[in-house]
Amino acid sequence: MRTVNALLSNSQILDTRFRSALARMGEAGRVTTYGRSVDPKFEVAALMKRLDGGPALFFPDVKGYTVPVIGNFLCCKENCEAAFGLRYDEIRRRISQALGVPQEPVLVDRAPAQEVVKTSGFDLRQMFPVLEHASGDAGRFITAGVVIVRDPETQVYNASYHRLQLLGPNRTGIKLDYGRHLRLAVERARQRKENLPIVVCIGTDIAVQYAAGTMGSQMPENANELAVAGGLAGHPIEVVKARTQDLVYPAHSEIVLEGVIRTDITEREGPFGEFVGFAAPEDDAPVIEVTAVSHRERPIYHAMNGYGRESVMLRKYVLEASLLKVLQTAVPIVTDVEMTAGGLHRFHAVVQVKKTSPQHDGLQRNAMLASFGALKDLDMVITVDDDIDLQNPEDVEYALATRFEASRDVVIVPGARGHEYVRASQNGIRAKFGLDATVPYEERDRFRRIVFAEVDPDREAMTTGVASLRPFLDP
């Protein structure tokens, strides 16, 4: 424990349990309770989309169910900061450092997640308000579940997000994207002619949620996401043994599904409206057979819209932390990065550099190429100087307007691998490009912006309205 706290920039141990995070958000005014009955078919998801980017939405009265729903939980910077009790830059710093100081989880005998356990006679469709999100979807989908498995060959725990379509009382389809560790684990189990044990945690520790959202070069196959979550929290995550599978999972989860991914059968899954803004098509998908359901006495169901800010915001800080760690090792003049909202916090990045000598010219383009190598899904990188506010889209566009010349400052990498959901690509293959909006070191003075004196306005001396103008307007 001392080793972790010594290495973390903020030495405090964080309480990252789901309900603790939700309570902090409530105290900070970042939870809005919707005080009338709502329908889990279309209405809840529509309200979440309509109010996306604001406070989390709590729905205590969901038609047909006694279980409330929380939506838009970590959909914006303000919610994330309130949930962790840290500023966004502190969250990102801890994520970056946690990858290097993982804390193995600690096993406990009793857990809130197992206050109620059912191993037979259950029907997921009746127990929980699993949303039907939009009219084009194939049915009801669990969207905020953290899927935990243990690789059958490496025996390493993996936590990740995957949508689950309800197919029956104890069966779901599961969507497996290309290039993901879970897909590899399923393929290995199939080669061994075994089913893959699995647990799905809904409403779980936010450190686990962030670890599950980590991808790219900073989360290799041999990294245990439960241990990384412990590194982020500053202490080991408490876990409990599953009742019907040889796995462990976070003890303070709201709802947990235990089961196996069948490797001998598939069913049709989808379509479903995904984070890119259109529906992922129907396709064959593995089937999860649920062998047990456990939950708190009064659980809260966590839901995400597939095409919503939470599904992309969840990865913003973990991807930025991963990217910054890679770049500052490979290209030390990199000072900061921003995964932009317009790029769904996944496809576009702004990289800030600080040139202090002529020998630094050109390194901004090395940073572009290193970025594409670090994050597979990244398709566009803009490099800017250190006087540009990379979190301000207007300032970044200013750099493009005044420092970028298209005939010489575009860097194109043809035929690279990206995300298969991007329809402009050919099943994920597309050109990646960089826009160099930096200036040569020797020309920095020529591009320096006007600087005004720093003054503090006297607000009491300022009035608004036409009254104070009248003496000057009268003829």
Per-position pLDDT tens, the chain of length 475: 233 333 344 457 999 999 999 999 999 999 999 999 999 999 999 999 999 999 999 999 999 999 999 999 999 999 999 999 999 889 988 988 887 889 999 999 999 999 999 999 999 999 999 999 999 999 999 999 999 999 999 999 999 999 999 999 999 999 987 667 899 999 999 999 999 999 999 999 999 999 998 754 456 677 789 999 999 999 999 999 999 999 999 999 999 999 999 999 999 999 998 877 778 888 999 999 999 999 999 999 999 998 888 988 888 988 898 899 899 999 999 999 999 999 988 999 999 999 999 999 999 999 999 999 999 999 999 999 999 999 999 999 999 999 999 999 999 999 999 888 788 888 889 999 999 999 999 999 999 999 999 999 898 888 888 888 888 887 7
Task: Please check whether residue 133 lies inside any domain of the structure.
Answer: yes
Question: Among the three residues 307, 341, 360, which one is the final residue of a domain in this structure?
Answer: 307
The answer on 193 and 144 residing in a single domain is yes
Q: Domain check: are 363 and 294 in the same one?
A: no
Please report whether residue 45 resides in a domain: no
Q: Which domain holds residue 369?
A: 331-443
Q: 284 in a domain, yes or no?
A: yes
Domain count of the fold of the chain: 2
Would you say residue 448 lies in a domain?
Answer: no
- 266 & 375 share domain: no
Q: Which of 291, 307, 323 is where one domain is finished?
A: 307
Same domain, residue pair 263 and 124:
yes
- The reply to whether 299 and 356 lie within a common domain is no
What secondary structure, in 3-state letters, does the chain show?
CHHHHHHCCCCCCCCCCHHHHHHHHHHCCCEEECCCCECCECHHHHHHHHCCCCCEEEECCECCCCCCEEECCCCCHHHHHHHHCCCHHHHHHHHHHHCCCCCCCEECCCCHHHCEEECCCCCHHHHCCCCECCCCCCCCEECCEEEEEECCCCCCEEEEECCEEEEECCEEEECCCCCCHHHHHHHHHHHCCCCEEEEEEECCCHHHHHHHCCCCCCCCCCCCHHHHHHHHHCCCCEEEECCCCCCEEECCCCEEEEEEEEEEEEEEECCEECCCCCEECCEEEEEEEEEEEEECCCCCEECCCCCCHHHHHHHHHHHHHHHHHHHHHHCCCEEEEEECCCCCCCCEEEEEECCCCHHHCCHHHHHHHHHHHHCCCCCEEEEEECCCCCCCHHHHHHHHHHHCCHHHHEEEEEEEECCCCCCCCECCEEEEEEEECCCCHHHCCCCCCCCCCCCCCCHHHCCCCCHHHHHHHCC
| Residue 294 and residue 420 in one domain | no
Out of 275, 307, 339, pick the residue that ends a domain.
Answer: 307
- What is the domain-level CATH number for residue 379? 3.40.1670.10
- Could you tell me if 228 and 181 lie in one domain? yes
Query: Are residues 438 and 360 part of one domain?
Result: yes
Whether residues 157 and 266 fall in one domain:
yes
- Whether 289 and 345 share a structural domain: no
Any idea what the CATH number is for the domain that residue 215 is in? 2.30.110.10
Are both 284 and 336 inside the same structural domain? no
